[in-house]
Each structure stands twice: as structure tokens, then as C-alpha cells.
Amino acid sequence: MSVSKIDMEDASKLLSALIDRINYLIDIKKDPEWADLDELLERASALRQAQFELSEEEYRSRLERIEDRVSFLEDRVAEKLTPAEIVNIVRSPQRFTLQDILDNVYDSYTELGGDGERNVDPAVVVARATISRRVKNKIYSHQVMVIGHEKGRGEEFRNGGSAKPWGNAKALQYMKVAENEGIPIHFFIFTPGSFPIEDYPGAAQQIARNIYAMAKLRVPMVSFISEGGSGGAEAIGLSDMRLMGSRGYYSVISPEGAAAIEGKIREGQRVPKELIEKCAEQLHMTAADNLKLGTIDKVIEEPALGARRDDFAFFRRLRYEMIKATDEVVLNTKSFKTFRAYALRRKKAEEVESTTFDVVVNWSLTDAETKRLLVHRSHKYRNMGTDFVIEPEESSLPGLKDVKEILKNCYYEARYGLLKTHRRNFQKVLAEVSGEGSVLLRTVTEPVKAAYDFVFPEPERPKRLHRANGVDTQSIFLEEWEQYVSPLANEDRTVTCPNAEKYGCQDLWVPDLYGESCGVCPTCGHHFPLEYQWYLKNLFDRDSFQEFNEHISSGNPLNFEGFGPRLKRDMQRTGRRCAIITADAKIRGIKVVVAMLYSNFRSGTVGTAEGEKFVRACDKARITRRPLLAYIHTTGGIRIQEGTLGVVQMPKCTLAVREYIDSGGLYIVVYDNNSYAGPVASFLGCSPYQFAIRSSRIGFAGPRVIRETTGEDVPPDYHAARNALSRGHIQGIWDRKDFRKNLYDALLRMGSPSLYYR
């Protein structure tokens, strides 16, 4: 409506709205001087002051001029929004929050476990809600569990939607409630990242637990991303359908964080604005980018400059899309393609702006449908990012690989699946019958058992290592020492133990330290870092380490500027193609599958290639019924130069781990040196058996990130393995010299009977 036609009361409301719009533009541009926005704001404020001094006509005409100017500027901004500006939109206090969604998208809701500040973590809000649709003049409501981050309306206690570990634990608690009740879950992600503290249950470990549980949660899940900050987003982000607001961002790291790393900015120094903008662009964090990368399923259109608190049309759209997404997830699980699915698809094809439904879908699933839901979820996440994996064809004959794969699967299924189960059942019956103690019966069963044992002989048990001369030896290192000594030992000098002042350690002569002492201070037991090759030679049986999938190579899928040469340099230096080594190996005769992240290649960061290799290692261990050892020499987290393609490795690998463990596998994680961030917060932290080599550090974020996000300093030994053990994050600490022995013991004591050597 034209300004000249509205009454004075509405005109002053319009003026207030205009001031909000100018402030919003300043938020987006982060520069009050852009197009003289500050002057425009001053003009608007002055007009408000002068309302009763001016004639009505003059007032209206000035108002109209301001409105024209604001609309013009809005169009100009919207015409070319940069990724950095989208980040500013997401962070604007005028952007909608979860509260607005609960109020406007759902009919009614009851918040669970929170009332404002009275909440275990006010940054995470959980509610039971009803959402309804109208079909042919009849209203149908559905029950859902809503879990999301609440940024709050200037409420400091909400912590900007940064969930603490116990907030994520609360989310998990209610996911299980929803699973129990069989109702779908709607997740709303509004987080700049998880709050990086190690207090129990631990930022990383809790996210890992959440992802692990969500991988096989038996209800449909739909998530909507407005602000998807890396690990914090993944904690409630693994769902069957991932929607994203067109003005949201989903990223591996904040552009400021990436800029600080890329520009090697020292702590306390200001990061240049241009560098932040460049990084925002390079990280491919917008909705359109993520849709292209396949890390989300659908973009929900927002108004050109992003939806604000009063964009009711957007909320109507969101309601429609949430219902439709849940419908699609549910209908996908039906055994036959229903007409309703067809109706939904047809609507999708037409791209109508409609918000009404022609069909009703019941959101509860039968057991068979739940099974299909989980299979679909598994496919969805396993396939994420695979298009970007660089894998040169190994064999010259196409299709030969598949045939080999099938044959191998059949063999292991027959050997350790069918035959073993059958054998165990038979033995159980035999034992029952023999147990009766009847001599008569035993005379009957003995020959049958003898015949059976002849057909299915006992598999060979792992034996103690034998020396070449046949003498049995207890020492597990003696013979290996003769063949491998760390090259670090080839220096004639001494070093000082970092604990020298505390424990009075003597200076250590390098050849002794890295030779006989295995890099361990003889006085205080401090472990100096050793190269990963040392473990290859000393941990596994001689010549048993056989790598596989060596041909899979890391790449630069986002064409991150300047990253290609760095990657190439690491490849040349290490002679390897990515930061993970996967291999078959033996430990005192027990065959294991090993996945090893090592420090020399991009600090052991995980990207698409590493994720894919890890998933394949999990699958190999599952098929061959072998234990899986993840030895983490060092990991620096998710590779930021791969953006969200790196982030989705978290759910992807966790899913593979979950399927491996569910099938009866034994998954042991051993941390060494430094293990931080994404991998610990997903496929490593979810293991029931996590150990650390002494003097290693385990955590979610490093001290600098903690200082910068929480404003609190942490003690120098905050991430030390012993503190991780005190907090309950790991199950034990191993000395390097006992690694092989402890691992062997662990293999014998833990794990399910379905493993082959059981």
C-alpha cells in the first residue's frame, strides 16, 4: 500500500519497521558506511523524533523517500549476496529462531526439560509438538519430537545455540524417547558449533554417541539447517532428509576460523576482513553449494534477504516442507510404490507454491518398514561424497573387481556365517544331550561328534610367537628390535624431558631414547612422539602388514585456492596418497583389519578419500569377521579445505562403524600423539573400547579455540590422556612398550563370539 494512503498510526509503525530494515542491512554488510546506511538510519531516527513537528504531508513524503531508498538498497544487496554476507544474515539478531518455528510451524508444543534459564542446557530445546495438515477440509495432526538449538532473543544464557556436552546428551535422551514412542523427529540446527569443553560427558564423545545412536534410530528423522556449524550440527544432524534454508550456511568451520588457519594469524591478532570473505567463499558453505555437493537434500526458499521473525509466509512454507519431507521418508519405506508417493512426486515436479496436501500419510512404521528405513539411511550416508573420491581403476578388466568381491563375500559368509552358526547350534545340542551323563547316550554321541569334528575341524587358535629356532619366547619385542630402529635415533646428541623440572629426569641421549627406550623417558615415563612407521614394524607380526585400497587418493574437490600444491607436496614427501593407511595385519597370529591416521599427511586430517577408505576397512572387517583396529597416530580433525564434504565423513564413517559393531565386530581405537575434533567426535569416539598411548592428547578443540570461544583459558594439561581417563572419555592408558601385548590381550578378552578366532 502506498504511504500516502495509510493512517498516521500505521505510518509510524512502518517507520519502526524501516529502521529495523536499515539495521538489518547494516548487519548484512557489516559496514554502516556502505551506501551511506548510517546516514539513512539517522534520517529515519530524526523523522521519528520530528513526527509531531512536521505536517502530515511532509512526514509522509519523507517516509516515502526513505522507504524507496531502503527498498532500492535491499534489492541491490539481494542481487549479489556473497557467502560472507549470508553468514552475517544467519548471525543477525533479526533472523528467526527455533522459538519462532515452534510458535508458527507447529500447532502446539510442550517443552521438555526446560523453562527458559531453568534447563540443563538452554542452548538445546526439546519439545513434543503437534503439526497438522488440511486434506479436503479435514484437519489431520501428527505427533513429533522437536529437537533443536535455540539461539535466543538476546538471551545470554542460550549461549548463541552453542550446545554443551550435556545439552547434546539431553537431545539423545529424547531421541530415544521418540524411538520408544515411534514418532518422527524434527531437528532444527541453529548452532555456530558445539561448546568446546571436555567436562563429562565431553564435547567430542557426546557428539559421537549421538551420531552413533542416530545411525540406527528406528524412527523417521528430518532436519532443517539454518546455521550448521560443523560438529555441533552433526550432533543432531544425521537424518533421513536434510533440508536447508536458502540463506543458511552449513560449514566445516567458521570463516573466521578458516581465515585464521589459512592466513596463519597469531592469537589475539585481527583477521583481515578480505581473508574472511575469501574463506567464506572457498568453503562452499551456502545452501546452493551444499545441494550441489550432495550434503543436503533440499533447499527451502527464504525471502531474498533471509527469513526474519515475522516472515509468516516462510513459516507456512516450512510447515509444508517439514510435513512433506516426513511423508517422503515414510513413503520410501513402503514395500510397493504407493499412489500417494506418486502424488507427492508429481507435486514436486510441478514445483507449485502450494502449501496444501492431497494425501494423508500415517507416520508410524511397521517392523519391516523400519528395516527399510535404516537401509535407506545407510545407503544415503554411505554414498555421500563418493562422487568426489579419486579412485583410479585398479584392474584392466572392468567388472572383474565386482566378481572378486562377490566371491569373497560368499566365501566368508559360508565359512564364518553359515557353517559356524550351524556348527555352534549342533555343538549346543550335542552338549545338552551329553550333559545328561548317560553312558549309553555317550556311546551313541561320541562317534557322531568324532565324525562331525572330522568334517568341520576346529579353526586354528592363535599361537604364541615362535622364534626361528623354535624356542618359545615371552618377549614380544626382542626379535623386532633387530630389524627396525627409529631414524630419529641416528643423532649424536641429548634431549631434555619436558618433565625434567618436576621429576628431575636426566638428559636423554637420543640413540638410547629412540632405540632401546622406544622413545620413553626412563625416569618419568614420558612418551616422546615416534614416527608411524615404528608402529608398523613393531606392533604387527613380521611381514603381516598388507595394505589395501592404496590407490584411493585425496583431492581438492572444492578447488580450494593454494591447497593443490600443498597436497602434492605431502604426497611427494610421504609417498602416499592420503592420510589414512588401511591394511590387513596380524597380531600374534590374530588377523585384524587396521585403519591408521598418521601425522605426516595434512596432519592426519579426514576428507572424502580418508572417509571412503575407512568405510571400506569397516566393511572388510565385517565381511571377514575380523577385529578392526583404528590406530590414530595423529588426527587434526576434518580437513577444512574439503568443506562439508569433510563434515559428512563423520556420519558416514560412524554409520559404517555402527553396522560393523552391530554385526558382532570388535572395534578398538588407540589414540596416540594428538587426536582432536571431528574424527574423535564421530567414528572414533563412538567405540566402546578406546585406549590412549601415554602422554598423548585427546580432545574436541585445541586450547586456542577454547580460549577464543569460551573466553576462558585452560590448563596446559587439559587434553592429556590421563585427564581424558579421569573424565571417562577413554577406557585405559597403555605404555608404548606394552602396546602389542595389551592389544593382543584386548583381542582375546573383548569382542563377540561371531569373530572368526572365537
Question: Which residues here bind other proteins, judged by CB under 8 A?
Answer: 492-496, 507, 509, 713, 715-716
Q: Which residue number, 686 or 706, has a Cβ lying nearer to other proteins?
A: 706
Q: Which residue number, 495 or 524, has a Cβ lying nearer to other proteins?
A: 495
Least distance from C-beta 634 to other proteins, angstroms? 22
What's the 3-state SS for 353-369? CCCCCCCCCCCCCCHHH
Q: Measured between alpha carbons, how far is 224 from 240 in angstroms, rounded to an integer?
A: 11
Report the SS3 class of residue 310: coil
Taking the alpha carbons at both ends of the chain, their separation in whole angstroms is 79
* Cα atoms in the Cβ-side hemisphere of radius 13 Å centred on 394: 11
Report the SS3 class of residue 497: coil
Q: Measured between alpha carbons, how far is 455 from 170 in angstroms, rounded to an integer?
A: 54
Contact 224, 188 (CB under 8 A): yes
* Cα atoms in the Cβ-side hemisphere of radius 13 Å centred on 45: 9
Beta bridge partners of 115: 118
DSSP-derived secondary structure letter, 558 = T
Least distance from C-beta 204 to other proteins, angstroms? 23
Residues in the chain: 758
Least distance from C-beta 695 to other proteins, angstroms? 17
Q: Which residue number, 498 or 562, has a Cβ lying nearer to other proteins?
A: 498
Least distance from C-beta 365 to other proteins, angstroms? 52
Least distance from C-beta 491 to other proteins, angstroms? 8
Least distance from C-beta 498 to other proteins, angstroms? 12
Q: Which residue number, 39 or 516, has a Cβ lying nearer to other proteins?
A: 516
Least distance from C-beta 724 to other proteins, angstroms? 18
Q: Which residue number, 437 or 715, has a Cβ lying nearer to other proteins?
A: 715
Helix (H) or strand (E) holding 672: strand 667-676
Contact 744, 668 (CB under 8 A): no
Least distance from C-beta 43 to other proteins, angstroms? 50
The cell numbers describing 487, all together, are: 631414524
Q: Which residue number, 317 or 719, has a Cβ lying nearer to other proteins?
A: 719
Least distance from C-beta 501 to other proteins, angstroms? 9
Q: Which residue number, 116 or 498, has a Cβ lying nearer to other proteins?
A: 498
Q: Which residue number, 482 or 712, has a Cβ lying nearer to other proteins?
A: 712
Please state the φ and ψ torsions of residue 243, each to the nearest 5 degrees: -100, 160
Q: Which residue number, 608 or 709, has a Cβ lying nearer to other proteins?
A: 709
Q: Which residue number, 575 or 715, has a Cβ lying nearer to other proteins?
A: 715
Least distance from C-beta 680 to other proteins, angstroms? 24
Least distance from C-beta 728 to other proteins, angstroms? 23
The cell numbers describing 59, all together, are: 512526514
Q: b or e along 240-255 (b: 16 or more beta carbons within 10 Å of the residue's beta carbon)? A: bbbbbbbbbbbbbbbb
Contact 546, 583 (CB under 8 A): yes
Q: Which residue number, 108 or 494, has a Cβ lying nearer to other proteins?
A: 494
Report the SS3 class of residue 428: helix
Q: Which residue number, 13 or 502, has a Cβ lying nearer to other proteins?
A: 502
Least distance from C-beta 494 to other proteins, angstroms? 4
Residue for cell digits 526439560?
113
Q: Measured between alpha carbons, how far is 188 from 367 in angstroms, rounded to an integer?
A: 27
Chain-centroid distance of CA 313 in Å reads 33
Least distance from C-beta 722 to other proteins, angstroms? 16
Q: Which residue number, 15 or 520, has a Cβ lying nearer to other proteins?
A: 520
- Identify the sign of the CA torsion 747, 753, 755, 758: positive
Helix (H) or strand (E) holding 721: helix 721-726
Contact 290, 644 (CB under 8 A): yes
DSSP states of 111-140 as a string? EESEETTEES-TTEEEEEEEEEEEETTEEE
Q: Which residue number, 421 or 494, has a Cβ lying nearer to other proteins?
A: 494
Least distance from C-beta 166 to other proteins, angstroms? 25
Q: Which residue number, 502 or 568, has a Cβ lying nearer to other proteins?
A: 502
The cell numbers describing 596, all together, are: 591408521
C-beta atoms surrounding 118 within 10 Å: 9
Residue for cell digits 569373530?
755
* Cα atoms in the Cβ-side hemisphere of radius 13 Å centred on 90: 31
Q: Measured between alpha carbons, how far is 27 from 147 in angstroms, rounded to an integer?
A: 28
From residue 505, give the alpha-carbon distance in Å to each of 110, 511, 519, 521, 523. Answer: 61, 17, 14, 8, 6
Phi and psi based region of residue 276 (left: phi greater than 0; alpha: psi -120 to 50; beta: remaining): alpha
Q: Measured between alpha carbons, how far is 684 from 753 in angstroms, rounded to an integer?
A: 23
Q: Which residue number, 266 or 493, has a Cβ lying nearer to other proteins?
A: 493
Closest among 668, 706, 715 to 687, alpha carbons compared: 668
Least distance from C-beta 527 to other proteins, angstroms? 19
Least distance from C-beta 531 to other proteins, angstroms? 21
